[in-house]
Amino acid sequence: MSNICYITYQSFPSSKANTIQTMANLKYLIKNGNEVELIFPLREKNSSDNLIDLQSFYSFKENLKVTGTEHKYPFGKIQMFEKMFFIFSHAAWSRKIVKRVNKVYDLNTLFITRSEWVAYFLSKCKLNLVYECHQSSKIKSLLIPLIVKNKKSKVIFLNELLCESFNLEKEFNPQINVLHNGVDTEYFQENIKKEKNSIIFVGNLLRFNKDRNIEFLIESFKNNSSLDKYKLKLIGGPENERTRIDKLIFENNLNENIKTYGELSREDTILEIQKSEIGLLLNKSDNLHSTQFTSPLKYFEFLYGGLKVVGVDFPAHRVLPFAENILLFSENNIEEFVNCINSSKNIESIMKNKLNSISLDLRVKKIIEIIQT
């Protein structure tokens, strides 16, 4: 058993995929016999460090020590300086927290973080740490080479393309790892009946405050009679974007084919996935993260739920595990999209015994192994 301190600049509770991923990883760290503390800033109005609140929101029962810290730095008050405020606030909070934990925890403690600033300050203290890097940025490019100068620092990149983008020196190879996301198998039920010709999209309807190209799906259904037999479920918020999408659906007389569900609980989301036949990976090519560096949680849930996967032909989707089973279409190409949907019936679902390799339980075991190596 190890003492693990997970420090992150994320906000909890939240329906964002990154917080769901973090909580799922923490759950399996505990299940593997470790004592875990989560430390994060109370930086949003609805932020809570109440364990019962978090257990209810994320649907887990494990006993997790939760420490939320007051954080009064400015956020978004002056829009043109919002990004600068965020960077300054993130760095200042990270420095303060690392200074505190360095006095409290002993050298045997294992630290895990998704924050580049937390990782940087922990590395300066020569502590055992794993930094999970899920995105690229100029600041990360500056900090990661400094982080790995501490031989006790390990970096996990979410996919191979993200790892390669940092061009790290070969001498750091023993400290560098690539681990895709995984699936929390405990939410899945046995013998769930599939709804014939059902398609599902799961996720925030906005990405980086921009639309996810849901209009493309509406246009596809509007202009192709071969999609008339399909029913599309859109699961996710925010509510104002859902309202806008509902209006488009109504204006195009597609209420019989497309339905929005808003944000659902984890159990209900997984149930809707299991009832569906086809899962969609949809993004726009207006940012590198979407095209190169993503490893979507929903993809692993689609596979484990026995769905056929149809996705935009982005490099990030081509390097996913079992990528050869994804039916890919060119961005905004309605004809190719429709062909993928109709030909999905010819694709065999992956056998469950092969999907054990994408479980979050196995992913967490690998993280522990990386830390202890």
The C-alpha atoms of residue 124 and residue 117 are separated, in whole angstroms, by 11
Of 291, 266, 282, 364, the C-alpha closest to 329 is 282
Of 130, 164, 179, the position where a domain reaches its end is: 179
Residues 6+ apart with CB under 8 A from 303: 183, 309, 322, 325, 350, 355, 358
- Same-domain check for residues 190 and 130: no
Report yes or no on 362 lying in a domain: no
What are the tokens at 185?
Answer: 């198998």
| Other C-beta atoms lying within 10 Å of the C-beta of residue 149 | 12
Looking at the domain assignment, is residue 302 inside a domain?
yes
Q: Specify the DSSP class assigned to residue 278.
A: E
Residues 322 and 301 reside in one and the same domain: yes
Please indicate, yes or no, if residue 105 is contained in any of the structural domains: yes
Q: DSSP assignment of 123-140, as one string?
A: HHTT--EEEEE-S--HHH
Q: Residue 261: its pLDDT value, please?
A: 96
Strand intervals (E) in the chain: 3-7, 35-42, 65-70, 110-113, 129-133, 153-157, 176-178, 198-202, 206-207, 210-211, 231-235, 258-262, 278-281, 308-312, 326-329
d(CA 282, CA 216): 10
Neighbours of 302 (CB within 10 A): 27
Domain membership flag for residue 373 = no
Are the C-beta atoms of 224 and 67 separated by less than 8 Å? Answer: no
Mean pLDDT by 10 residues, the chain (373 residues): 92 91 96 96 91 94 95 56 80 95 90 97 94 95 95 95 92 92 94 96 82 92 94 95 95 96 94 98 89 95 96 97 96 96 90 89 93 79
Contact 147, 119 (CB under 8 A): yes
Q: Do both 201 and 153 map to the same domain?
A: no
Q: How many domains does the chain have?
A: 2
Same-domain pairing of 232 and 100? no
* 20 plus 167 within the same structural domain: yes
Residue 364 maps to a domain: no
Are both 240 and 321 inside the same structural domain? yes
The verdict on 287 and 202 lying in the same domain is: yes
pLDDT at 15: 85
Residues written for the chain: 373
Whether residue 215 sits in one domain with residue 161? no
User: pLDDT at position 67, please?
Assistant: 96
pLDDT in the model for residue 73: 53
- Looking at the structure, tell me whether residues 158 and 91 fall in a common domain: yes
Question: 317 and 335 share a domain?
Answer: yes
Domain end point (choices 179, 210, 228): 179
Last residue of a domain, one of 179, 197, 213: 179
Range of the domain at 168: 3-179
Q: Is the dihedral of CA 106, 107, 111, 116 positive or negative?
A: positive
For residue 337, what pLDDT is reported?
97
318 close to 201: Cβ distance less than 8 angstroms: no
Distance CA 331, CA 314 (A): 8
Asked if 203 contacts 236 with a C-beta cutoff of 8 angstroms, the reply is: yes
Is residue 347 domain-shared with residue 243, that is, in the same domain?
yes
- Nearest-CA neighbor of 88 among 69, 74, 102, 70? 74
Rounded Cα distance between 213 and 234, Å, is: 12
pTM: 0.92
Instruction: Please report, for the domain that includes residue 236, its CATH number.
Output: 3.40.50.2000
pLDDT reported for residue 350: 85
Q: What is the model's pLDDT at position 129?
A: 94
Q: Which stretches of 163-297 are assigned E, i.e. beta strand?
A: 176-178, 198-202, 206-207, 210-211, 231-235, 258-262, 278-281
In a domain, 38, yes or no: yes
Task: Give the integer Cα–Cα distance in Å for 259 and 254.
Answer: 9
Tell me if 366 is assigned to some domain. no
| Closest C-alpha among 1, 16, 21, 5 to residue 360 | 21
Residue 368 forms part of a structural domain: no
3-state secondary structure of 356: helix
- Specify the pLDDT at position 97: 96
Q: What is the pLDDT of residue 133?
A: 96
Asked if residue 218 and residue 133 are part of one domain, the reply reads no
Residue 280, phi then psi, degrees to nearest 5: -105, 135
